[in-house]
Amino acid sequence: MRRAVCPGSFDPIHNGHLEVIARASGLFDEVIVAVSTNYAKRYRFTLEERLGMARQTLASLKGIVVEPMGEGLLAEYCHDRGASAIVKGLRSSSDFDYELPMATMNRHLTGVETVFLPGEGHYVHLSSTIIKEVASLGGDISDFVPKAVLRAMSQEQSDAAG
């Protein structure tokens, strides 16, 4: 069984993530979407909410499992689950510059390889951060996020409006 891990904060998951996860599932028998927790980070959504949105969105796809990654090393997490690869999408050369040392470190730590997939053109401008900013300023994000995320973000906006 060829297993890969797609790690991330997924705060929230968006269409750029989904496109990479779907392509990864064509390359591996099983893809674990590993939702991270980093106590140094301030997330918009709780871990349970981030897991819930990813699970609802990916429920119909075969061979994809969504689970919490915990706060430890990604390389150890992959090793513990028998995953031979980490899959990451690359939107730009700056993504590559950021990812390369981590990929090399992860391989040194446990031998896990990193597979980079070039991002699809119409999603390369997406990040969870930019989507949250556009939404918070009243912009339309419906082209960029799955329905479960759109619902959660609209709910948040209306709660904030009181």
User: Which residues fall within 8 angstroms of residue 141, CB to CB, at 6 or more apart?
Assistant: 131, 134, 135, 150, 153
| Residue 7 within binding range of ligand PNS, rule CB under 6 A | yes
Among residues 4, 5, 6, 9, which is the contact residue for ligand PNS, using CB under 6 A? 9
In angstroms, what is the minimal distance from the CB of 162 to ligand PNS?
31
Binding segment (CB under 6 A) for ligand PNS, from list 4-12, 19-27, 139-147, 150-158? 4-12
| Residue 100 within binding range of ligand PNS, rule CB under 6 A | no
Place of tokens 């700056």: 94
| Residue 102 within binding range of ligand PNS, rule CB under 6 A | yes
112 close to 78: Cβ distance less than 8 angstroms = yes
| Residue 73 within binding range of ligand PNS, rule CB under 6 A | yes
